[in-house]
Structure 1
Amino acid sequence: MDFTFNEEQLAVREAVEGIFSGLVTPDRVQEVEGTEDRFDRDLWAAMAKADLLGLSLPEAFGGGGYGMVELALVLEGQGRAVAPVPLWATMALGAMPLAEFGSEAAKSAILPRVAAGRTVLTAALTDVAADVAVGGPGNPAVTATAGGDGIVLSGTAFAVPYAHVADRVLVPAVLDEGVVVAVVDPSAAGVTMERALTTNREVHPHLHLEGVVVANDHLLAEGDPSRGPEVLAWMLERAWTGLCALQVGVTEAAVSQTAAYLNSREQFGRPLSTFQGTMLRAADAAIDTESIRVTMWQAAWRLDNGLDAALAVNVASWFASEAGQRAVFSTQHLHGGMGADISYPIHRYFLWGKQIELMLGSPSAQLARLGRQVTGELQAGRSVPA
């Protein structure tokens, strides 16, 4: 693949750098972390004004008509700034699946508002991803029954990113030995939330559903349970690739800040960066960052070009999980005592890196999934890309 960005992608990257470098500072992030929602709404509005929220949505609904590569550029910028906004949840989990599988009525009602920054979306994929991680089919914890002109949902979806500020939540549910994905209004009768905080201080509430009615025009893939695996696989591939893009930004910024710190701090009359041990540790973190970057772009490029991306996404996820946590641990460790000071910015990159690792699944689970996939390809007589 060609890693060179075209002019439009370079313009996106420039806009992203301008927004995040201009509006996100350590003091601003700390201020937002002290609020109930932990959501920087001013930054969100600025991103909408810069057309970054609708970038990967169809032009017919107010979007830019771009794809996963362009969204990854924005997510990478968010990761560098550790900016507290629901971009990954709204776009990778919610808006892109809705644009691909939603009814015309649902898309027309929701997607223009997403592009304008007036609607936040998310999806309840934690249980599905956890089941896939251990070799399961990806069954959700929520169940559905047919009822009138729609379905009725019951059960609990755990750790739903930014559900507390979401206007709609995509909820997978088991129906008739298949799976449907419903677009749920969190203010609907029967929906309650239980607040929960993640490692990086984001709010990911548990969503309790009791007899929640969802109309047929708010079901993805026309509510066909037989298409459930297809829809969930599509959603997971983009969700995981989006997390990898975030991890690129997180580790890149952590390495950059660590290099500056090692150059400025002295021991025995010499900058810390001149000691071989610190140089090698920092270099390994930089190599880890590049490994995450190139595998992430491979996955995003394959998704945008309609190619089978399952293996590429899994490889990128393993690097983002294994190399990502290793890089942020190293960068915090290289800061010595300052790395344990929560008033100093580097600790946020450690927390974000660990949170992304946990959301992707442990490195051992990633390797096990890769092993099952490669074995399956070989047993089916298909070649595995190098």
Structure 2
Amino acid sequence: MDFDPTEEQVAVRELTATVVASRDSTAPKWPDTELWSALASASLLGIALPEDVGGSGLGLVEFGCVLTECGRGLARVPVLFSTVAALAIDRFGSEAQRRAWLPGVVDGSRILTVGIDAAERTARPAASRDGEGWTLNGVLSSVPWAEQADRILFAADTADGPVLVLVDPRADGVETTAQDTTNGEPAATVTLTGVAVASDDVVVDADRDHFALQWVWQRIVAGSSAMLLGVCEGALHLTANYTNEREQFGRVIATFQAVKVHAGEAFIDTEAIRVTTLQALWRLDRGLSAEREISIAKFWASEGSARVTGTAQRLHGGIGVALDYPVHRYLLWAKNTELRLGSAQWHLGRLGELLGSAS
């Protein structure tokens, strides 16, 4: 693939960067409703959704550009999960579901999220047939933005394979319990007790070969890697500026050999995340097999972001622990996303399984 961005991709990144930079990343509010509205006004929330529902009709690489700038600017908005849920509805849902949900996602009036964990940290909820719909029972922890979302896209197990359904977090039988996260991003444990899901809210019925489940999972993981790329870029940029201004022994510390070595290693990690993430998104965009590339990208994103943000913290010295200085927030964001959607070790193990099955 060609790793050079197109003019369109450059424009998307620059526009997103401008919108995100207009907001104060230190504000504690989740979600940042003003930034959410600004992203919608700039037609960035529907960047990868089709034009017939108000989107821009671009691809996952362009969506990755938006996510990277949101990560770089520590944007407190649910753009990753809301967009991936919308993409799933567009790909697998009915025309009625598309018309009911996608225009609202594009204009920012609707928030969707995804309650799917294919890394198997917890068991999926169970679904039993109830007429043309389903009844759900089970518990899923760490569902991002569960209490803020209008609908949660859940995968629930049946004897014939998982079903993908839309659940109202305020429906009867649904209980959400807020959880604390490393960077403050909203998440909750969702308990489903006899939750009735009508046929109108069934996106995929009996996914026997797990195709739809993997389709959604792969896009969340690749998008998560794109956000971690932005987190690393932001931390590295802040560190470069600081080390080129901070003086010690009559010289800026960026000229010290040890600082150069650590900063250079952080730059290499960031570039590795960039190329592996771009390859994964590019293959998904073209309908090519990308299971291996997605795990490679998430491995680098999880491992690399921990090293990059840790290095940034250390190269700032004492000021790095000051809460009124922004560098620590990049470390918290990296830690929050490092283990979510499969840790580096989980994806390394998955790569081993894929290599073993191919031999």
TM-score range, shorter chain: over 0.9
Q: How many residue pairs end up in the alignment? A: 359
* Aligned match of 1:363: 344
* Aligned match of 1:318: 299
Equivalent AA in structure 1 for residue 87 of structure 2: M
Q: Which runs of 5+ in 1 are unaligned?
A: 132-138, 379-386
* Aligned match of 1:114: 105
Q: Deviations over 1:244-300 (max 9, x none)?
A: 100111001101110111111122222111111111001100110000000000000
Q: Quick check: 1:40–1:84 contact (8 Å CA) kept in 2?
A: yes
Shift of 1:211: 1.1
* Aligned match of 1:46: 38
RMSD, aligned α-carbons: 1.4
Shift of 1:375: 1.4
CA distance in 1, matches of 2:5, 2:219: 20
Which residue of 154, 162, 165 maps to 1:179?
162
Q: Which runs of 5+ in 2 are unaligned?
A: none
Q: TM-score, normalised by structure 2?
A: 0.97
Q: Deviations over 1:83-134 (max 9, x none)?
A: 1001111112x111111111221111001110010000101123x3235xxx
Q: Quick check: 2:36–2:77 contact (8 Å CA) kept in 1?
A: yes
CA distance in 1, matches of 2:303, 2:282: 22
Q: Deviations over 1:45-102 (max 9, x none)?
A: 010011001111122211111221111000000011001001111112x111111111
* Aligned match of 2:87: 96
Structure-to-structure mapping, 1:347-358, within 5 angstroms: 347-358=328-339
* Aligned match of 2:226: 245
CA distance in 2, matches of 1:323, 1:13: 22
* Aligned match of 1:301: 282
Q: Quick check: 1:103–1:218 contact (8 Å CA) kept in 2?
A: no
* Aligned match of 1:384: none
Q: Quick check: 2:17–2:73 contact (8 Å CA) kept in 1?
A: no
CA distance in 1, matches of 2:140, 2:346: 21
Structure-to-structure mapping, 1:35-184, within 5 angstroms: 35=29, 38-92=30-84, 94-126=85-117, 128-131=118-121, 140-184=123-167
Shift of 1:9: 2.1
Q: Deviations over 1:2-30 (max 9, x none)?
A: 12223322221221122112x22xxx333
CA distance in 2, matches of 1:261, 1:6: 31
* Aligned match of 1:7: 7
Aligned residue for 2:212, secondary structure, equals: helix
Aligned residue for 1:158, secondary structure, equals: strand
* Aligned match of 1:285: 266
* Aligned match of 2:178: 195
Equivalent AA in structure 1 for residue 304 of structure 2: A
* Aligned match of 1:135: none
CA distance in 2, matches of 1:337, 1:362: 30
CA distance in 1, matches of 2:141, 2:165: 16
* Aligned match of 1:328: 309
Shift of 1:176: 1.8
Greater mean deviation of Cα atoms: 76-85 or 209-218: 209-218
Identity of aligned residues (%): 42
Shift of 1:177: 4.6
* Aligned match of 1:136: none
Equivalent AA in structure 2 for residue 104 of structure 1: E
Structure-to-structure mapping, 1:208-287, within 5 angstroms: 208-221=191-204, 223-227=205-209, 229-287=210-268
Q: Deviations over 1:356-384 (max 9, x none)?
A: 21114332222111111111112xxxxxx
CA distance in 2, matches of 1:65, 1:197: 36
Q: Quick check: 2:26–2:326 contact (8 Å CA) kept in 1?
A: no
Aligned residue for 2:58, secondary structure, equals: coil
